[in-house]
């Protein structure tokens, strides 16, 4: 069997197993079973990390151990009209026009293709390789908790190939660090006066995308668009009250849709609806190049007996307005590289509290502290409470890496051209692994995947054999 076809077949098998972040029990069990069926020694730790030990092929017994690393979980995003259940349903993989995608859901090529590449190298009898440690971590997408829990003694190898990058022909040797902040704001309930109606607004059709890879694309945040509408409405109707607001999903996905419901005097309903629709037309013009599908829908219904007060709505709107989102600074060292950013990832109301989740990134530790402190200050000024986690460290590049030199030479030999060496703004587990094991030599690469963390996610088929054959050559070079 052709090595690239083996990769695709393994990926399709992985896609049959539910593997939403923090719900990786089924995929971890599947990986363990597959390893045993291939006769590999395998371990599954308390964090659900799976490590397979693959013996060297003849002639490679004295070569250094190579770690092939990816993560088992995926960001689960779907279109509003999709009925897909990520807890039970397999991903429907579709291949057409040179691309692989899913049916109205994210594909999970991030990082299912990386795991499939690693398994293909181990399982193909024609691939020559040193002893391999296949490390498949858990919960990479919502906190890198698998990599955080990893113990240095679990790995013998000191050469790591991270298979979680998304541009063929690019070798990544550094990444940003990151941190998440959860903020809450108390919202007081009040009685809704007579002669009020509910106006609901839904913003959708945005592209969204990966908050590390695509935060610099100028794409709209549905949460921020809803905030602008709320602010305009309060300017023409200062007695509006809030029923609900929600939007966004994963911490590393730019919000694609959001909605809110307010109650206003019946005499103001037409003005409020017209205001919202006018803002929808503004958004269509503003984001014609980046989010051509942006749509706005309004609905009018009866008012409930209770809603959150006018004051609560104002405090909420002000907080969302000043809350940082998007690129905060560009790198002064690497042209075109985002240095610091924030993604206002989700908003919802739980138990009469506004709950916000944001994800901050920076390649400079002090700048990561600064943007996090700014967010916490905004929340405090609004009367809320912000709690930030410890996050994960950046991966500082090693330009003189022996592994990088070998990767470059192998790539040039196979393809007759120079690969691109870069540093990315997205987070990779290499930062955590390198922080635990200082002498680990690491490079990240992978096939081309476009719009991860969204239903638009797709993988370019032609790049899968390119990466697979490069990896075969690289492993063979250690003889």
- Active site residues per annotation: 73, 140
Using DSSP bridges, classify how beta strands 338-350 and 241-248 pair: parallel, antiparallel or unpaired. antiparallel
The Cα-based distances of 232 to 237, 238, 245, 313 in angstroms read 9, 10, 16, 12
- Residue 111 preceded by cis peptide, ω within 30: yes
Within 10 angstroms of residue 251's Cβ, the number of other Cβ atoms is 23
DSSP H helices, 422-462, are: 430-436
Q: For residue 407, what are its two tokens?
A: 């990767």
What's the helix, strand, coil split of the chain in %, to 5?
Answer: 30, 30, 40
Shortest CA distance to 213 belongs to which of 451, 461, 455, 429?
Answer: 451
Q: For residue 126, what are its two tokens?
A: 């024609």
Residue 386 near residue 181 (C-beta atoms within 8 A)? yes
**Per-residue H/E/C for 81-95:** CCCCCCCCCCCCEEE
Q: For residue 1, what are its two tokens?
A: 């069997």
Cα 441 off chain centre by: 25
Phi, psi of 111 (to 5 degrees): -125, 35
CA distance 308 to 191: 8
Sequence-ordered list of residues with C-beta below 8 angstroms from that of 397, at least 6 positions apart, any chain: 173, 174, 423
CA distance 205 to 79: 9
CA distance 447 to 464: 5
Question: Which H or E run includes 422?
Answer: strand 420-424
Phi, psi of 2 (to 5 degrees): -60, 140
Q: For residue 398, what are its two tokens?
A: 């090693």
CA distance 273 to 265: 12
């Amino acid at each position: 069997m052709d090595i690239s076809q083996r990769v695709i077949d393994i990926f399709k098998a992985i896609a049959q197993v539910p593997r939403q972040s923090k719900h990786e029990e089924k995929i971890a069990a599947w990986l363990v079973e597959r390893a045993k069926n291939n006769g590999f020694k395998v371990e599954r730790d308390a964090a659900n990390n799976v490590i397979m030990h693959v013996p060297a092929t003849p002639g490679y017994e004295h070569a250094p151990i190579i770690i092939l690393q990816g993560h088992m979980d995926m960001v689960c995003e779907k279109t509003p009209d999709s009925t897909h259940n990520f807890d039970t349903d397999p991903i429907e993989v579709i291949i057409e026009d040179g691309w692989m995608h899913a049916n109205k859901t994210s594909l999970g090529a991030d990082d299912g293709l990386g795991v499939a590449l690693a398994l293909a190298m181990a399982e193909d009898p024609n691939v020559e390789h040193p002893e391999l440690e296949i490390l498949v971590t858990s919960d990479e997408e919502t906190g890198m908790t698998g990599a955080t829990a990893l113990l240095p003694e679990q790995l013998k190898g000191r050469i790591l190939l991270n298979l979680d990058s998304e541009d063929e022909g690019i070798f990544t040797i550094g990444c940003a660090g990151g941190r998440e902040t959860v903020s809450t704001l108390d919202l007081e309930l009040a009685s809704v006066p007579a002669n009020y109606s509910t106006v609901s607004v839904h913003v959708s059709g945005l592209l969204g995308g990966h908050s590390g890879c695509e935060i610099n694309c100028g794409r709209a945040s549905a949460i921020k668009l809803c905030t602008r509408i709320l602010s305009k409405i309060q300017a023409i109707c200062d007695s509006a009250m809030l029923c609900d607001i929600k939007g966004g999903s994963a911490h590393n996905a730019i919000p694609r849709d959001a909605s809110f419901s307010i109650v206003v005097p019946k005499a103001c309903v037409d003005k409020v609806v017209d205001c919202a629709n006018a803002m929808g037309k503004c958004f269509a013009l503003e984001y014609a190049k980046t989010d051509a599908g942006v749509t706005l829908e309004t609905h009018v219904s009866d008012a409930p007996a209770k809603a959150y007060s006018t004051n609560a709505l104002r405090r909420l709107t002000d907080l969302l307005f000043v809350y940082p989102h998007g690129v905060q600074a560009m790198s002064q060292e690497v042209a075109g590289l985002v240095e610091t950013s924030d993604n206002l990832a989700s908003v919802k109301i739980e138990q009469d509290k506004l709950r916000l989740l944001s994800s901050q990134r920076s390649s400079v530790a002090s700048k990561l502290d600064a943007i996090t402190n700014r967010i916490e200050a905004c929340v405090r000024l609004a009367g809320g409470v912000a709690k930030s986690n410890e996050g994960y460290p950046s991966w500082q590049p090693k330009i003189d890496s022996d592994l990088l030199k070998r990767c470059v030479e192998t790539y040039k030999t196979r393809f007759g051209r120079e690969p691109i060496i870069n540093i990315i703004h997205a987070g990779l587990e290499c930062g955590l692994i390198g922080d635990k094991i200082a002498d680990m030599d690491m490079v990240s690469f992978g096939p081309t995947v476009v719009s991860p963390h969204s239903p638009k996610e797709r993988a370019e088929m032609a790049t899968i054999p390119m990466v697979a054959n490069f990896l075969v050559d690289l492993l063979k070079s250690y003889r």
